[in-house]
Structure 1
Amino acid sequence: MADAPAPPRAPLGRLALYLLLGFSAGLPFYMFSTVLALRLAKHGVGLVMIGFFAWVTLLPTFKWAWAPLLDRFDVPGFARFWGKRRGWIMLSQLGIFASMAAMAFTAADRSLAVTGLFAVLLAFWTTTLEVAADAWRIELAPTQEEQGPMVAANLWGYRSAMVAAGSGSLIVADIAGWTWGYLVIAAAAFAPFPILAAMRPDPSGIGGRLPALLTGLIASLVILLTSTAIVAAIGWAVLRAAADIGISDKTNATPVVLVICLIPFVALALALPWIRRLPPTAKARTSAAVGPYVDIFWRFGYAALPVLGFVAIYRMGDVLTLALSKPLENAAHYTLTQIGWADGWVALPSSMVGVAIGGWIAARYRLAWMLVVGAACSAVGNWIFVWLWYQPPSNFVLNIATALDQFAHGLEGAVFVVYLSLLVNPKYPGAQYAFLSGFAFLLPRLVAGAGGSIQAQIGYDGFFWLSGALSAAAVVFLPFIANVKPRPADA
């Protein structure tokens, strides 16, 4: 197979911008997922309850519910000077800082409900930042050749920030406690905000920088307080309802959660025959709320079903590694400093190399074959933890497992982001990428939420054998999706 022409070189300023945005989104992710799981384990919380906390990472699955708002509305003040996309990114960074600081000052985990509230808020604002940044990226780089370098830059920032946050927070927590571990990462997560505020205005921006900044900060405070009250009220109602029907840490709630999460996706799939016949003026296609999602099924027709099946399990290995790799390392008698050191000095360069190679091959070679390479790497990245579990604790074993895991999932992630981006209609970049990437993590995060229960049945070794096998199983869908092309647009 002949190589494709070399992709055009992306502007360095654009790559630097997406390196920064990836860093902004990656720092908080570990703090409400992997680091939180280890924090809860150190405080004696059972694995089943820790598995329930892993469902906080389900929130991005529902980002399609508010993604259209980011396309339709502006953040007062910020958007007037810096534009719609940067306005939402700046608001999200303020939300990330506030939520992580709140997690720092409740780090004793005396109330798991309070811990859950601030973890959900941190996940919400992290996801909102990603929605805005992804929409902007797809607008700036609509082709496979352009997406490769930008995705690589974005994931370099994202994954390096994730491992830096994990490493830094654990080392600081081991020395000074969990409060300082979270405060240090909160301060680092806020660092990109003044950089964005100092950047040149949007071409359509009006007014002065300082008035726009002050107006944006006041509006952001109101939005953050309102969102906190709404999330607290919803959380109280959900916990009350769960208690009323007898759900506890001894209940297998995974089937119920799965059904609830799948309802919108199943509804669209069942409506496929009707969707395919819709004219361009149909309300379902022009609606700001559902039009972007109906458009996916209208464009791909019945091929959307194997596409979604493939998308649903491709990232299984990456997500399940995040869910239980740190509890496994804790159970294998590694210290916080050992884990933090491996996450910093080993995981960071390994991840960056994997992302760079993944972005390069995704831009240069046939994407279907590169997806196969990514799936194989993901499986091996999970199976390496089976080897770690049976070895006596040593820095060498931990470093080898961490390096292979981060390289494999970095490469897989870069290829997958390019694939998802090319499925998106440029008319709806934010909403459709939110829908597809949210669905991509639905099943993996549901399984991760039940990870503690699964581990209790089959052990750590069985858990990682299973998760790697599920990642490799994604290749079964490739013959059905390799040549799928969207339906031409209406006249």
Structure 2
Amino acid sequence: MADAVARGGFGATVAPYLRPRPVAAFLLGISSGFPLTLLLGTMTFWLAKVGIDKKTIGFAIGLTTPYTLKFLWAPLIDRIRLPGLTALVGQRRAWLFVVQALLFVSVWMLGASQPELHLGVFAFWAIATAFLSATQDIVIDAYRIEILPDAELAHGTAMNQFGYRTGNFIAGVGTIALASSEGFGLGWALGYGLTALCVLPAIFAALWAGPGLHERAMPRDRAGWFADTVVSPFREFFRRRGAILILLFVLIYKLGDAMGQGMLNPMIVELGFSDTEFLAINKVVGLWGLLLGTALGAPFLAWLGMGRALFVSGLLMMLSNVSFAILAAKGHSNTWLFIAVATEQVTSGIGLTVFATYLSGLANLAYTATQFALLTSFAAVGRTWLSTPSGYVAEAYGWVGFWVVTMIVALPGLALLWVLWKRGFVVDRARQVPAGASEWVAEADAR
């Protein structure tokens, strides 16, 4: 990285990010990132504003369960061809266009569900949105990995995470600004509905980048189809050295961060911050923290290597929760909200880029959608079910104690990473291809 700066200055450093496929990965990230924030950050803010208690809000995070199960239907997304559409635009893009049309409708209905009056209707549309968003992630993750050559994987992943965080920002700050009476005052239905237009960047990216590498036909016989679609991806992964330890690491690595993210907005509401204060700090500090943290992700990897980058970024994310503990102790303090948001955005931006690059490297190009869905599903279990008691923790220990607990539960993930590192299970080379798959990958690369 330093050599690049010395030879070509700032332009040479930035140029890899602005190549066509990393830019396409950025656009894909916007569409991938916005639904989850609507289901976590914005949803918890909304529920707190209409008087839902924080224990219920903690378990409402469980409505995102489809993210934890998406590996079950990922093999179908990998192989089933949509009649007519697949032949016209390719496997990945066909699924993307169909899922995004359904997702747009679901997000709009979620915004119109009035949880303070119809909690059951709200829960239904939240689950439907989570299912469609998880399915969109299967498609986008596989498509992104396939369109990025190895030389652009780190920069493309960084751009994808930048897009993802941009989608988070639009869905978090933008939706609240649209819906809030202190903002545009459009209400939650229209606020969510307009945010649903974030499906468009991925459509533009897909039309621009063309078909993915994974356009092979399914086997004709049913036995061959089942083995190729369901058995082979899991068999190939679990035959690797350290596969179980890797999955356990993916499960718990970001648990402390997930607990904090789920209960942050309810704490902001309880501490008495107005919508205007929340929006102003997030629009300024959140945006620049997002830009800085995500931009540092790829250089961070180049400088430290995968193992050290995972450890240091995990440590930074854990320590960033100290600022929220101080905010909780101070109470209504714009200064400490500013510091806490800035710290979280920078450290989380670095951590997400490093972690996503790690997961991308574990996914085999022959089974991209299925294996990446398996890995991210395990990550989502930590974010969803292991973090659902967070409302009870906040109720029992108060907000300061809650943030201390989030730091404690981050420690096992760092300890397991050390074990993986010592045993040589932390990969630095990405996207291995199994025996028997090299021919179609070579043909796809030639295209």
The aligned residue for residue 296 of structure 1 is: 237
1:393 aligned to 326, 329, 332, which one?
Answer: 332
Query: Following superposition of structure 1 onto structure 2, how do residues 181-192 of structure 1 map, counting pairs within 5 Å?
Result: 181-186=191-196, 188-192=197-201
Unaligned runs of 5+ in 1: 205-281
The aligned residue for residue 448 of structure 1 is: 387
Cα distance between partner residues in 2 of 1:361 and 1:485:
16
The aligned residue for residue 93 of structure 1 is: 100
Q: Does 1:461 align with 2:413?
A: no
Tell me the secondary structure at the aligned position of residue 414 of structure 2.
helix
Please tell me whether the aligned partners of residues 350 and 406 of structure 1 are also in contact (alpha carbons under 8 angstroms). yes
Moved more, 359-368 or 154-163: 359-368
Please tell me whether the aligned partners of residues 103 and 119 of structure 1 are also in contact (alpha carbons under 8 angstroms). yes
1:434 aligned to 351, 354, 373, which one?
Answer: 373
Q: Does 1:19 align with 2:29?
A: no
The aligned residue for residue 112 of structure 2 is: 105
Q: Does 1:308 align with 2:247?
A: yes
Letter in 2 for 1:74: R
Please tell me whether the aligned partners of residues 45 and 265 of structure 2 are also in contact (alpha carbons under 8 angstroms). yes
Please tell me whether the aligned partners of residues 285 and 292 of structure 1 are also in contact (alpha carbons under 8 angstroms). no
1:178 aligned to 188, 191, 207, which one?
Answer: 188
Please tell me whether the aligned partners of residues 108 and 190 of structure 2 are also in contact (alpha carbons under 8 angstroms). no
Q: Does 1:32 align with 2:39?
A: yes
1:163 aligned to 157, 164, 169, which one?
Answer: 169
Please tell me whether the aligned partners of residues 254 and 382 of structure 2 are also in contact (alpha carbons under 8 angstroms). no
Residues 88 and 475 of structure 1: CA distance in aligned 2, closer, same or farther (over 3 Å): same
Q: How big is the shift at 1:331?
A: 0.8
Moved more, 159-168 or 60-69: 159-168
The aligned residue for residue 59 of structure 1 is: 66
Tell me the secondary structure at the aligned position of residue 52 of structure 2.
coil
Cα distance between partner residues in 2 of 1:298 and 1:448:
30
Please tell me whether the aligned partners of residues 285 and 295 of structure 1 are also in contact (alpha carbons under 8 angstroms). no
Relative to the length of structure 2, the TM-score reads 0.84
Q: How big is the shift at 1:337?
A: 2.3
Residues 390 and 283 of structure 1: CA distance in aligned 2, closer, same or farther (over 3 Å): same
Q: How big is the shift at 1:489?
A: 4.8
Q: How big is the shift at 1:42?
A: 1.8
Unaligned runs of 5+ in 2: 6-12, 214-222, 437-447
Deviations 1:255-286 (A, max 9, x none): xxxxxxxxxxxxxxxxxxxxxxxxxxx99993
Q: How big is the shift at 1:394?
A: 3.2
Please tell me whether the aligned partners of residues 22 and 156 of structure 1 are also in contact (alpha carbons under 8 angstroms). yes
Deviations 1:288-345 (A, max 9, x none): 2233122211122xx1222222211111133122210000111111112222222322
Deviations 1:17-59 (A, max 9, x none): 1111100111222111111112112222222221221012232
Q: How big is the shift at 1:183?
A: 2.3
Letter in 2 for 1:295: E
Letter in 2 for 1:378: M
Residues 52 and 68 of structure 1: CA distance in aligned 2, closer, same or farther (over 3 Å): same
Please tell me whether the aligned partners of residues 78 and 229 of structure 2 are also in contact (alpha carbons under 8 angstroms). no
Residues 472 and 354 of structure 1: CA distance in aligned 2, closer, same or farther (over 3 Å): farther
Cα distance between partner residues in 1 of 2:408 and 2:212:
49
Letter in 2 for 1:172: L
Residues 306 and 4 of structure 1: CA distance in aligned 2, closer, same or farther (over 3 Å): farther
Q: Percent identity?
A: 28
Please tell me whether the aligned partners of residues 28 and 160 of structure 2 are also in contact (alpha carbons under 8 angstroms). yes
Letter in 2 for 1:181: G
Residues 59 and 343 of structure 1: CA distance in aligned 2, closer, same or farther (over 3 Å): farther
Count residues with an aligned counterpart.
Answer: 409
Cα distance between partner residues in 1 of 2:410 and 2:327:
19
The aligned residue for residue 216 of structure 2 is: none
Residues 343 and 436 of structure 1: CA distance in aligned 2, closer, same or farther (over 3 Å): same
Cα distance between partner residues in 2 of 1:490 and 1:474:
32
Residues 3 and 286 of structure 1: CA distance in aligned 2, closer, same or farther (over 3 Å): farther
Q: Does 1:115 align with 2:122?
A: yes
The aligned residue for residue 410 of structure 2 is: 471
Residues 193 and 404 of structure 1: CA distance in aligned 2, closer, same or farther (over 3 Å): closer
